[in-house]
Amino acid sequence: MDNPLQRSPEPRSGEYGTVSEFGSVDGWILLEVDAFLIAHPNLRRFHSTLEGYREYVFQDASKLYIRPNGEIIRIPKPMYASDGRKMKGYRYNIYEGKIVRAKKWHEMPRSEQEWVVI
């Protein structure tokens, strides 16, 4: 029988950094996501808090957060506007394959976001 902790999501293009190189982990249990991300070759740092927040930072500075309620947030690698200003406040939407403003993210229904089973 396969080890469920050795699951891997589908590969993706990676246009927005490491967090966009792999597909959805929606519905996975937290241990599966941890096993996949901690073993990822581009993981630079992992941090968890007593409150249950988890942060995975990759070498290209893209980030994946898991909130205590199981919500997954993917922050793309740093991006810059044509005038050189850093573009802030974006999240990567795995289902659309593009970035969205954080405000729009909060307005999206839960069914259009990624969640892990806590």
The per-residue pLDDT for range 61-81, each reduced to its tens digit, is 999 999 999 999 999 999 999
User: Is residue 98 classed as helix, strand or coil in its secondary structure?
Assistant: strand
Cβ atoms within 10 Å of 95's Cβ, excluding its own: 13
Q: Which residue has the tokens 């969205």?
A: 100
The answer to whether the predicted template modeling score (pTM) of the entire model surpasses 0.85 is: yes
The greatest distance separating any two alpha carbons of the chain, rounded to the nearest whole angstrom, comes to 54
Residue ranges for the chain with pLDDT beneath 70: 1-5
- Contact yes or no for 87/79 (Cβ under 8 A): yes
Which pLDDT value is given to residue 13? 86
Please give the single-letter amino acid code of residue 13: S
- Contact yes or no for 76/16 (Cβ under 8 A): yes
